[in-house]
Amino acid sequence: MKGSTNKYLLIALLVGLAFHGTSIFFTLETTYDALIHLFFADHYANSWFEPWNYKWYTGFTVTSYPPLVHQSIGILSLIGGLKFGLFTVALLSIVLFITGVYRFSLLITANRTVAGYAAILAVFSSSFVETLHIFGQLPSIIGISILMHALPEIYLWLKTGKYRYLFTSLSLIAVTVTSHHVTPIFGMVFFIFPLIGMAIMDVSREQVSSIKEITFNVFLRSFLKLFKRIVGFGMSSLVIIIGCILPYWINSKNNPITQVPIPHGSRDNFLEITSSGLVFFLIPWGILLILLPYIYYRYYSKRYVFFGLSMTILFVLGTGGTTPIPRMVLGETAFNILTLDRFTLWGSIMSLPLFGEFVYRFSEGDLKQRIQSKFGGVYHRIIGGILAGLFIFMTVFTMSLGYFRPSQPQKIKMLPIVNFLNQDDHDKWRFLTLGFGDQMAWLSAQTNALSVDGNYHSARRLPELTTRPIERLENSKYKGVAGIGSLQQFLTTPEKYNLKYIFSNDKFYDPVLYFCGWQRLRQLENGIMVWERLNVKPIPAILPKDEIPKWQKILWGVIPFLTVIIAFMLNIQILWIRMLKTNLKTPPVYLAFKNTYASFSKNLLRVTHIWSIALAILVFYGIYLFYIKNDAQRSPENAIVAYYDALDFKEFEKAYALIDTKNNLSIAQYMLEISVTDGLLSSYAKLDNIHTIITRNSDSLVTAKVITDWITPLEKIHKEEYRTVIKRNGKWLLQHYDLDTDIPPDQLYASNTSRYFNQGRRRVTTEQTHHEDVLKQPVLEVLSAKLVQYDTHYAIVGEVQNLESVPADIVLKGTLYNDANKELATYNAKHHVKHKLMPKEVSSFRIDFEGIAWSKTKDSIPKAFNPDEFTPIEFEEQPTKFNLQVAGNVSGSDLYKEASLSAISIDSKTITGSVFNSGIEEITVPQLLITYYDKDKTLLWVDHLFIKEGIRQQRQQTFRYPLLKEASMRVVNDSMENIFVNGLPNEGISNKIVPDRIQNHTDAQLQKIEHPDYEYIKIEINSYIGNPN
């Protein structure tokens, strides 16, 4: 095909491989997608022909993603491991991309030098760098690269009508579709249609003497002439696209994506959310933005006019939610499913040939001459320097983005987790990771254990997940309350999913784990905390799966590689044979349509100049706005926002710089004060929203009402406080709060408590249950239980006591029935119970029946919601009976009971009081359980309050609890008939262990309140210790 080796292409390949080939080892594993592909590859490496994967989402099928790239990594992993496969395929993709751009550019420009320039530029183009090093979208890169390889073949088929080209182009389309399904579909529209247009244009050109003479009639005639070839190609490529990944299409039809759309940055309004604008618009376009006038000018010339149209559409679609156009063009559904960044990627790739052309003309062509003659040689060099500098800056900036703003948590050593799962049958249960980012895919690839979570959201099946706009449970804290809410459902009823172990890399989730009844097992050597839940059954030996016909499995396993082999034979082999045998070099026909590059348009140069200046002004204005907004001490608002942000991100030194230090507050003192505050708000909250109202504005003193919303793992906290901001030396500074000056009486004191240790297996054996080592399940007694209706909300409330001599972990599971004994709902107790009871301790409990949130009306998902928000289940029929199953298991952890209620005062609306910590641990999150009784001291309702601040040793913390609002309250059923403890009837236990129970023993000690519905309350304290000594 080539007469002599194109030295530019050679340089592009060498530099590209050296540059990307070395840097992928530092970037690829921290990208968003690479590890997911690795997980899929691991699947194929282990079961090539079985598309069902049990490891994620209680099972899903890998036919939901085109297999070629995954299978290639899988095959290569058999030689040198999964990562070897990944990097090899990545290197291949780099080569394919560079050569693809070269061939595409050659097709467009018909100039080898220009194509060579384009290839070199492609190596450093910011969109390619971003797609590879930040997003890690290997299939997408390979797809578009192969498509670019296919374009010349398609052109040749249309132009010459030789069947050889039809076959080569179809073979390449087949490879494209097996590596990425979206690329050929949209590529058809955005690349191939314009290409067809160009081919028709060229055919027309040959019939007339100059390009200007091509009229619509001539064009139409040429079109009719080529019609058969176009339709032939179109039809056969359609067959290829459908046929090659037929199981994918069948799966898409059978399991349509019916999930709530997951927000994606590429759909944001880029002017509002500037970070999305940066990542999905500025970076991929990069320096091309300056050249837009040139690119449009060239693409809207007659020959390329269809490319011009395509470019325009791609550009507009790529702007996401900035303008309403993409939403209108794509329609609501497609807009919410597609990630729009791909349009920008394609647009920028489509621009590459012309970028090459521009650079060619600028560095050695007519543009150089024009600039030099008009502005002089120095100007040309300066402009060249600026452009080159900007280009390289964009590349370096994009590469470094992953370093400065890591998209992933620190790399986690997986071996300790893999070992843990392999030990002691831990992989007989499902696990969940928290705060792992996309590294969870890498963990899943390395272990046989199954997870309830997953990292490929299109394949999710559980309604608990598909009804939430979250990608993974794993990073639910970033998804606001929808995420936490979804996570809470999994944490509350883990036995439904056989979920027993949680690996937590983020302390943020600790309180919710504790209050949902989980306990810490131990910290692994890589710092990951393992949490476990008792009373969860192992995964059944046989799991359900969606079987697909054998022919589909074979098709899925065989076709992708077959397409590669065929494409290889057709494209490379034939080429070689031809060259060796005949040594004949006929240049491809598209090389006939050369551009002269004789004189660069004056107007275009002018427009480009104006455009560049406008762009520069825009950029500087943007930077100025950014500065104004972020200069922390320019205005009191900025100072407050910066201070709270600094606190949110725990940048205490930065926060200290914003504090007025006139009253001798040293940084040491400030840090000390910070270090002694613990609690839900200061240790586990993420700032969600901040709003300041400046109540008075004197020149140097301002009092601001600061309204903040914080998301904590347990609930949303709304806080309003006044801060005084002072201007000193032109800088706004916040006044520091007064510290609680309380001094505890004892310097050193002792506390005696019983601690427990369960040996587990006393003998080192893999025997499953050595009966001597099995502890007796603690006997519990349900003292009272009733089904009540509070407003529209059904719940089972009551009290449970641990009768055993050992501490117990308790799990309460309630089921509701109607009169016809039809089961209506089942759920576990969440926050409203002390999950760990000492011997003879009593806890009130409430079991709520949560529905799967928003599963009914998808459109009514609130925009901002609250972790504590409760979606009562919608009952089709009235629940009238209930069944309560209580299970006890011996547990020695989280038994801190040394919190006292030290003061209380009650008015008609609120209870205020304080909790005193008399023990030797710091209480991180104190919880009050408030039980309401009527005038006959009958238990009616259980409520809770999380105290926002922690309580240090021998100190008090005040609380304020608003009493329950008036609402209809009805006891539906108070029969104690269907209550079972460890599977045995409650009544029998009661009679055996406490035959002479003093009924309603502590009723005399209930607290009286003034409330229209209730007469008495009882307050119990449950404490979460974040850092046990």
Q: Please report, as ranges, the residues that interact with other proteins according to CB under 8 A.
A: 695-696, 698, 701-703, 722, 724, 738, 740-743, 745-746, 752-754, 756, 771-772, 774-776, 783, 801-803, 805-807, 837-842, 895, 897-898, 900-906, 916, 918, 954, 956, 958, 992-994, 997-999, 1001-1002, 1005-1008, 1019, 1021
Spatial contact of 54 and 156, defined as CB atoms under 8 Å apart: no
d(CA 43, CA 54): 10
Element (H, E) at 742: none
- Going 660 to 665 to 671 to 673, the CA torsion angle's sign is negative
Least separation in angstroms between CB 690 and other proteins: 19
Q: Whose Cβ is closer to other proteins: residue 458's or residue 918's?
A: 918
Rounded (10°) CA dihedral 124, 130, 135, 137: -40
Q: Whose Cβ is closer to other proteins: residue 127's or residue 927's?
A: 927
Q: Whose Cβ is closer to other proteins: residue 171's or residue 802's?
A: 802
Q: Of the candidates 402, 436, 345, which has an alpha carbon nearest to the alpha carbon of residue 127?
A: 345
Backbone angles phi, psi at 438, to 5 degrees: -75, -5
Q: Whose Cβ is closer to other proteins: residue 403's or residue 756's?
A: 756
Structure tokens at 202: 């060229």
101 by Cβ neighbours in 10 Å (0-12 / 13-18 / 19+) ranks as buried
Q: Whose Cβ is closer to other proteins: residue 497's or residue 845's?
A: 845
d(CA 869, CA 987): 36
Least separation in angstroms between CB 704 and other proteins: 8
Least separation in angstroms between CB 895 and other proteins: 8
d(CA 537, CA 425): 12
Residues 6+ apart with CB under 8 A from 49: 553, 554, 556, 557
Angle formed by the axes of helices 550-568 and 216-244, nearest 10°: 130
Least separation in angstroms between CB 914 and other proteins: 9
Least separation in angstroms between CB 695 and other proteins: 5
Phi-psi region of 767 (alpha: psi -120 to 50; beta: other; left: phi over 0): beta
d(CA 125, CA 649): 33
Q: Whose Cβ is closer to other proteins: residue 680's or residue 783's?
A: 783
How, if at all, do strands 881-890 and 808-817 pair?
antiparallel
Residues 6+ apart with CB under 8 A from 657: none
Instruction: Give the count of alpha carbons within 13 A of 474, CB side only.
Output: 26
Q: Whose Cβ is closer to other proteins: residue 855's or residue 954's?
A: 954
d(CA 490, CA 223): 60
Spatial contact of 145 and 90, defined as CB atoms under 8 Å apart: no
Residues 6+ apart with CB under 8 A from 946: 680, 714, 715, 925, 926, 927
Q: Whose Cβ is closer to other proteins: residue 43's or residue 952's?
A: 952
Q: Whose Cβ is closer to other proteins: residue 851's or residue 892's?
A: 892
Least separation in angstroms between CB 838 and other proteins: 4
Least separation in angstroms between CB 770 and other proteins: 12
In the chain, the N- to C-terminal Cα span, in Å, equals 74
Q: Whose Cβ is closer to other proteins: residue 3's or residue 995's?
A: 995
Element (H, E) at 315: helix 305-317
Q: Whose Cβ is closer to other proteins: residue 165's or residue 1016's?
A: 1016
Single-letter amino acid, residue 968: S
Q: Of the candidates 811, 827, 800, 753, which has an alpha carbon nearest to the alpha carbon of residue 777?
A: 811
Q: Whose Cβ is closer to other proteins: residue 400's or residue 753's?
A: 753
Q: Of the candidates 109, 462, 65, 116, which has an alpha carbon nearest to the alpha carbon of residue 258?
A: 462
Least separation in angstroms between CB 696 and other proteins: 4
Least separation in angstroms between CB 910 and other proteins: 12
Structure tokens at 817: 């029935």
Least separation in angstroms between CB 985 and other proteins: 17
Instruction: Give the count of alpha carbons within 13 A of 148, CB side only.
Output: 28
Q: Whose Cβ is closer to other proteins: residue 650's or residue 992's?
A: 992
Least separation in angstroms between CB 989 and other proteins: 12
Structure tokens at 1014: 């209730």
Least separation in angstroms between CB 762 and other proteins: 12
Least separation in angstroms between CB 1014 and other proteins: 15
